[in-house]
Structure 1
Amino acid sequence: MPILLALDASSSACSVALSIQRGADEPRLISRFAMTPREHTRRLLPMVDEVLAEAGVTPGELDAVAYGRGPGSFTGLRIAAGAAQGLAYGLECPLLGVSTLEALALAAHRRHGVEYVATALDARMSEIYAAAWRCRDGNVEALLGEAVIAPQRLRLPAVAGPDGWYGIGSGWTLWESMPVEVQAAVSQRDSDTEPAAEEMVLLAARQYTAGERTAPHEAQPIYLRDQVAWQKGG
């Protein structure tokens, strides 16, 4: 199993996680998470040092570095991408970009065992970053592609089981603005959970095993804002 490091600064939270397995030992997941608005630059790399020290891993042992590619805070995404890119350049290892919305879906699945997850992050400007997923046995399948939309325009696939959709992410604070069909389909909501590197490192491990790699110079945050004009003009 590869040794992977993940960094995220896509929201008010700042987080780092390390996935490691040596020999026949059980896989270890070591992470740090803190709500640190406007302190990401100061906190991110010290967190990296902490998880590496706790695991007894040197930077040169890392097989790849992952980062929360977005969507999320413009500034935070650039901070995480830049830090991951700098590490990958220095270590001459590949980069792996991980969706913040997919990480939220996996968090809901890991914590609550839910199958159908609707993720939404507050995108400001009276919009949300949204997507929908089906989670089974630790795997996440996209059912509704990532987009930035007004909450009034959110639609969910009519495929959820008897428990309905589980809504997770800060975008669900705009619940009152969402269509009544969405409100009827979502049985539970968690608007407090932020994307975290702990789920991102697990998703990155699957990417790495599948042969997905990115060169350091190709690090690219995903803002989704370039879709706004197309959607409003449609």
Structure 2
Amino acid sequence: MPPSAPARWRRPIARPQPWSPGPAPAPTCGPMTGISRRRCRTCWPARRFRARATAPSREARGRMSARLLALDCSTEALAVAACDGERQSTRTTAGGALASSRIIALALEALADCAVPVAQLDAVAFGAGPGAFTGLRCACAVAQGLAFALGKPVLAIDSLMIVAEASRARLPRGLRELWVAMDARMHEAYAAQYRLAQDGHWQVTSAPALYTLPALAACWRTAPPHGVAGNALAAFGERLP
């Protein structure tokens, strides 16, 4: 401000004042007021709003269920399954050499039954064996191709555990341990032992392996199985105990 400026222009410079929080608001609940927080009209709506803000919406709860496509060609049958939460669809037909020409069509039919577009899958699963080489290669190639195109993970599932799960409904009540034996041709069998845990999931007791018939028979004579699933007993008959 120049010295020749009129006196009315010469105003004192305002100095910054230290910040003060001011008086604390009066409590609306607590021991001093005799009102509990549950009955407080100020606190209860705020807590209710926070609970609503953090709770998932109906659409989010629906998306918590994974959308899966599962393929299995490890046996003589071709099996395809799709699921979206509680909705499930399965397709089973003859596999073998015809699996590669039918697997895509069956997969699309199963997905259509569940109203799941291919682009909205969360993962693709396949039976990873042990089993027939041609069937394993077919299921693995289709699963990896779909997952790569969609940018989704691939889930490799124990094929013998799939047989154990499929036979669960036919197991005697109280049976917790099960052997699965499948015909591997050339007088051999794929076999593994599983135990049903308390949470309802199968646990591997003896890992899947390729057995000769004498070796598998000796194993079962040493520790007789409580139950056997699979087609090995029907294929080899009296050669297995």
Could you tell me the TM-score, scaled by structure 2's length? 0.66
TM alignment of 1:116-131, pairs within 5 A: 116-131=177-192
- After TM superposition, give the deviation of residue 117 of structure 1 in Å: 1.2
Q: Distance in 1 between matches of 2:222 and 2:67?
A: 39
2:116 match: 57
Change over 3 Å in CA distance of 1:30–1:158 after alignment to 2: farther
Residue in structure 1 matched with residue 146 of structure 2 by the alignment: 87
- The answer on whether the counterparts of 1:118 and 1:166 sit within 8 Å (CA) in structure 2 is yes
Aligned partner of 1:148 among 210, 216, 220: 210
Give the 5 Å matches for 1:12-23. Answer: 12-21=76-85
CA RMSD of aligned residues (A): 1.9
Cα distance in structure 2, aligned partners of 1:127 and 1:45: 31
1:5-61 superposed Cα distances (whole Å, 9 cap, x missing partner)? 10011111111101212xxxxx12211011233210111000111011111111111
Partner of 2:37: none
User: What is the rounded CA distance, in whole Å, between the counterparts of 2:105 and 2:88 in structure 1?
Assistant: 18
Deviation at 1:72, TM superposition (A): 0.6
Per-residue CA distance 1:80-104 (angstroms, 9 max, x = gap): 0001011001111000000111111
* Aligned equivalent of 1:34: 93
Give the secondary-structure state (helix, strand or coil) at the position aligned to 1:70. Answer: coil
Contiguous gaps of at least 5 residues in structure 1: 22-26, 184-234
Task: Say yes or no: does 1:5 pair with 2:69.
Answer: yes
Question: Which fold has the larger relative contact order, with Cα–Cα distance below 8 Å and residues 6 or more apart in sequence?
Answer: 1
Identity of aligned residues (%): 35
Residue of structure 2 in register with 1:213 after alignment: none
Given candidates 105, 108, 129, the residue that maps to 2:167 is 108
Q: Distance in 1 between matches of 2:130 and 2:92?
A: 19
Measure the CA separation in 2 of the matches of 1:102 and 1:158.
23
Q: Structure 1 pair 133/148, CA: closer, same or farther in 2 (3 Å)?
A: same
TM-score, normalisation: structure 1 = 0.68
Instruction: For residue 182 of structure 2, give the secondary structure of its aligned residue in structure 1.
Output: strand
- Conservation of the 8 A alpha-carbon contact between 1:7 and 1:66: yes
Deviates more, 1:127-136 or 1:75-84: 127-136
More strand by share: 1
Is contact 1:5–1:18 with CA below 8 Å preserved after alignment? yes
Residue 196 of structure 2: aligned partner: 135
**Which moves more between the two structures, 101-110 or 134-143?**
134-143
1:169 aligns with 2:230: yes
Q: Please tell me the residue identity of whatever aligns with 2:69.
A: L
* SS, match of residue 131 in structure 2: coil
Structure whose alpha-carbon radius of gyration is higher: 2
Taking a change above 3 Å as real, the CA distance of residues 15 and 57 of structure 1, as seen in their structure-2 partners, is same
Asked if the contact 2:96–2:135 (Cα under 8 Å) also holds between the matched residues in 1, the reply is: no
The whole-number CA distance in structure 1 between the counterparts of 2:230 and 2:186 is 17
Distance 1:65 1:175, change over 3 A: same
Q: 1:175 offset after TM fit, Å?
A: 3.6
Query: What SS does structure 2 have at the residue aligned with 1:46?
Result: helix
